[in-house]
């Protein structure tokens, strides 16, 4: 079935269950998602099942300008795909959508943090043109993080 892709709305937080059931997915308080959704709605997206409207994937991102170098960037805070829908191009499609939206907003870069042990995600990001910009020690409770970036300009 063709999924429905659209902008993330505040009420979508109530549909999180399927997309958040994963050891790689960090879960945050509802206020975290709402804050990003209200501040940067143009870079928050969902994928929904076409008949029952269940959320099968979401991406939460924020827009920010670095004061030190004035770079304007999209930061992907969270992306998750329901395990039933993995390896079907859903995450790739969401990543492409944030790339298009970030280009339209004239961003310089997109960045994200990922666990090095999440090899599938790291490989996907590399295939989409992201590179490891920095290795951050002890970013997660139990693991380091890669700061991966995609240059848009």
As its CATH architecture, domain 4-113 has 3-Layer(aba) Sandwich (3.40)
Decide which of 100 and 36 is more confident.
100
pLDDT digits (tens, 9 = 90+) for 135-153: 999 988 899 999 999 999 8
Q: Per-residue pLDDT tens for 97-109?
A: 999 999 999 999 9
Residue carrying structure tokens 């004239």: 106
What number is the average pLDDT over the span 38-42?
A: 77
Q: Does the model's pTM come out above 0.75?
A: yes
- What is the pLDDT confidence band of residue 36, given thresholds at 50, 70 and 90? low
pLDDT value at 23 more than 50 = no
Rounded Cα–Cα distance for residues 54 and 24 (Å): 21
* Domain range annotation of the chain: 4-113
* Segment 107-134 mean pLDDT: 96
Q: What gap in Å lies between CA 93 and CA 89, rounded to an integer?
A: 6
Q: How far apart are CA 144 and CA 98, in angstroms?
A: 25
């Amino acid at each position: 079935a063709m999924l429905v892709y659209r902008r993330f709305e505040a009420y979508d937080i109530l549909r999180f269950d399927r997309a958040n059931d994963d050891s790689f997915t960090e879960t945050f308080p509802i206020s975290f998602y709402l804050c990003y959704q209200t501040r940067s709605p143009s870079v928050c997206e969902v994928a929904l099942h076409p008949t029952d409207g269940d959320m099968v994937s979401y991406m939460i991102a924020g827009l920010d300008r670095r004061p030190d170098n004035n770079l304007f960037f999209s930061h992907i805070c969270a992306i998750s795909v329901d395990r039933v829908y993995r390896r079907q191009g859903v995450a790739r499609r969401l990543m492409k959508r944030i790339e298009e939206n970030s280009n339209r907003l004239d961003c310089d870069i997109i960045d994200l943090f990922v666990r090095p042990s999440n090899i599938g995600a790291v490989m996907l990001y590399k295939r989409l043109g992201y590179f490891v910009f920095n290795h951050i020690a002890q970013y997660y409770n139990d693991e380091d993080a890669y700061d991966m970036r995609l240059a848009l300009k």
